[in-house]
Amino acid sequence: MSTAKSARGSFAPLAQPVFAVLWAATVLGNTGSFMRDVASSWLMTDLSASPAAVALVQAAGTLPIFLLAIPAGVLTDILDRRKFLIAVQFLLASVSITLMVLAHTGMLSVSALIGLTFLGGIGAALMGPTWQAIVPELVKREDVKSAVALNSLGINIARSIGPAAGGLLLAAFGAGVTYGADVASYFVVIAALLWWPRAKNADDALAEGFLGAFRAGLRYTRASRPLHVVLLRAAIFFAFASAVWALLPLVARQLLGGDAGFYGILLGAVGAGAIGGALVMPKLRERFDADGLLLGAAVITALVMAALSLAPPQWLAIIILLFLGGAWITALTTLNGAAQAILPNWVRGRGLAVYLTVFNGAMTAGSIGWGAVGEAAGVPGTLLIGAAGLLVAGLIMHRIKLPAGDADLVASNHWPEPLVAEPVAHDRGPVLILIEYQVEKHHRAAFMRAIDELSQERRRDGAYGWGITEDSADPQKIVEWFMVESWAEHLRQHKRVSQADADLQGKVMTYHSGPERPVVRHFLTINRPGAA
């Protein structure tokens, strides 16, 4: 009974028409993208047999995401997301149209292929955080987690279909037709986005500008210790695991003796394995925690890399890559789920953008690095080195536990409005906030531990400076201070405090022995006439 209920819950978002239409369009669009990537990777092996050149195609696709994901996350939070996605789809369609024309006329070169792949990567960088951030707009709140899982499943459905279809089209009709199919998929996505009846954004007096939102996102990232753990685990895993992706075209061609169609089948096997992994994931989560799942993914990926280095028969390589797909989706959903679980809504786009930056930075650096190693050690030797490194790193990183992500991040709205003698301009600042506590001597150590935790919350929500002081005449009088860059940013801070943060502040309050709540004061910078 519970299993059936869980299954219905897993697919419940598809009963909501807007999500279902956009999800289906996204699957089709991603299928076209994978077809394009197969054509580009295989054409590069025709243009150059160098492992470094082949790996550069992978790097060119992921480098823009590394460079632009954070600005894209900021744009996601401040622009109309539907219009933004439509513009990005037109950019990607233009890239594939250019590839189609150059391939059809025989004018495609190594530099042109890498350059256009880089432009496609820019589109992917702008699109990634936005697709993830719109999920709460498309489904009911209780269905958000299921919708995120369905998005991952959709990507891997596309991964299983796109490479195989792309390889077959490439072998039968050439690169021009393959790129043309990708172009058609973008216009289907554009049509779905135009159909989406999205409500206009309401005017917000506290709406953030680009630079302010950028700084707020970076402050949150610097202050969030749980996010640091997720980013570290992701960087280490993907830096080593990128070896198999960077060299897979050469594995298919040189070690396994396959053609373009076989390369597409290999990638299709990865996608099929990912679908299988996604379907058994609920059972795996019942038996293993997130750290166990990530360790298992590292071990299986390392074994796959080692097995491929031995140049197995083609049929066996296909089976091996099914396991790679299962391990890959396990790692992706585990790390992405951990990031989603610790990010509050106000900074979700920017936090996910930082995660995507680390993910694609690790993939980019790994691709370039493994391509260079491949030049010196050969493809089989490079795969063995990568496998050994991934296995050792996985065992070491297993000791650094992923955050549980069980905190209540819904806004608490429990801070009272600040008292003002007259209206304050939103751009006035910086603002100094003082909070005066009365803490008895025997509670001081516990209070300091609690206030240290609270300091991280202050910084995550907008403070760029924080400190704790005591009164020299009365050591039981302790003043917490923090600074924010403007009055508007402090008002936003009021809206950002979550239920979990409120609980933390309540813990600090238990050590306040004054007759009333702590005294809170706000100090504004005085703009002196003629001051430099």
Pick 205 or 230 by higher pLDDT: 230
**Same-domain pairing of 392 and 438:** no
pLDDT at 531 (0 to 100)? 52
* 177, β-bridge pairs: none
- Residue 200: its pLDDT value, please? 67
Residue 54 has a pLDDT of 72
Pick the most confident of 129-138, 235-244, 248-257, 352-361: 235-244
Is the pLDDT at 478 greater than 50? The verdict is yes
Tell me which H or E stretch contains 306: helix 290-309
| Cα 120 from Cα 96, distance rounded (Å) | 8
Structural domain including 470 reads: 431-524
Number of H helices, E strands in the chain: 17, 4
Section 243-248 average pLDDT:
88
The span from the CA of 355 to the CA of 70, in Å, is 9
Question: Band of the pLDDT at 250, cuts 50, 70, 90?
Answer: confident
Between the ranges 272-281, 396-405, 416-425, 497-506, where is the mean pLDDT highest? 396-405
Q: What is the pLDDT of residue 47?
A: 77
Higher pLDDT, 495 or 239: 239
In this predicted structure, which of 196-210, 393-407, 444-458 has the lowest mean pLDDT? Answer: 196-210
What is the band of 1 on the pLDDT scale with cuts at 50, 70, 90?
very low
Q: CA 413, CA 469: separation in Å to the nearest integer?
A: 27
Q: β-strand 431-438 against 477-484: which pairing, if any?
A: antiparallel
Smallest CA-to-CA distance from 95 within 125, 74, 119 is with 119
Same domain for 333 and 210: yes
Do the beta carbons of residue 243 and residue 305 sit within 8 Å?
yes
382 and 437 together in one domain: no
Task: Tell me if 473 is assigned to some domain.
Answer: yes
Confidence of residue 446 (pLDDT cuts 50, 70, 90): very high
- Residue 357 shares a structural domain with residue 494: no
| Domain co-membership, 449 together with 385 | no
Supply the pLDDT for residue 7. Answer: 44
Cβ atoms of 211 and 71 within 8 Å: the answer is no
- pLDDT more than 90, % of the chain: 30
Which pLDDT score is estimated for 49? 66
Choose between 3 and 516: higher pLDDT. 516
Is residue 198 classed as helix, strand or coil in its secondary structure?
Answer: coil
What is the pLDDT confidence band of residue 394, given thresholds at 50, 70 and 90?
very high
Does some domain include residue 402? Answer: no
Looking at the structure, do residues 188 and 239 belong to the same domain, yes or no?
yes
In a domain, 497, yes or no: yes
Residue 4 has pLDDT above 50, yes or no: no
Residues 155 and 67 in one domain: yes
pLDDT of 218-228, one tens digit each? 899 998 999 99
State CA 19 to chain mean position distance: 20
Question: What pLDDT score does 480 carry?
Answer: 94
Q: What is the pLDDT of residues 282-341, one digit of tens each?
A: 788 778 888 999 999 999 999 999 999 999 999 999 999 999 988 988 898 888 878 877
Domain final position from 397, 416, 445 = 397
Q: What token pair was written down for 59?
A: 């790097």
User: Where is average pLDDT lowest: 152-161, 243-252, 258-267?
Assistant: 152-161
How many distinct structural domains can be found in the chain?
A: 2
pLDDT score recorded for residue 5: 44
For residue 345, the domain's CATH number is 1.20.1250.20
User: In terms of domains, do 435 and 392 share one?
Assistant: no
Q: What is the rounded distance in angstroms from the CA atom of residue 82 to the CA atom of residue 64?
A: 22
DSSP 516: S
Does one domain contain both 345 and 448?
no
Residue 373 in any domain: the answer is yes
Is the per-residue pLDDT at 6 higher than 50?
no
Q: Are β-strands 519-524 and 477-484 bridged in parallel, bridged antiparallel, or unpaired?
A: unpaired
Check residue 501 and give left, alpha or beta (phi > 0: left; psi -120 to 50: alpha).
alpha
Instruction: Indicate whether 46 and 172 sit together in one domain.
Output: yes
Please check whether residues 196 and 247 belong to one and the same domain.
Answer: yes
- Which of 397, 419, 445 terminates a domain? The answer is 397
Point out the domain boundary residue: 375, 397, 419: 397
Q: What is the mean pLDDT of residues 25-45?
A: 85
CB atoms within 10 A of CB 341: 18
Q: What is the pLDDT of residue 10?
A: 63
Asked, for residue 91, whether it belongs to a domain, the answer is yes
H helices present in 398-486, as ranges? 444-461
252 and 386, same domain (yes or no): yes
Residue 532 belongs to a domain = no
- Is 259 domain-assigned? yes
In-domain check, residue 412: no
pLDDT computed for residue 8 by the predictor? 46
**Mean pLDDT (the chain, rounded):** 85
- Residue 514: which CATH number? 3.30.70.100
Is the pLDDT score of 454 beyond 80?
A: yes
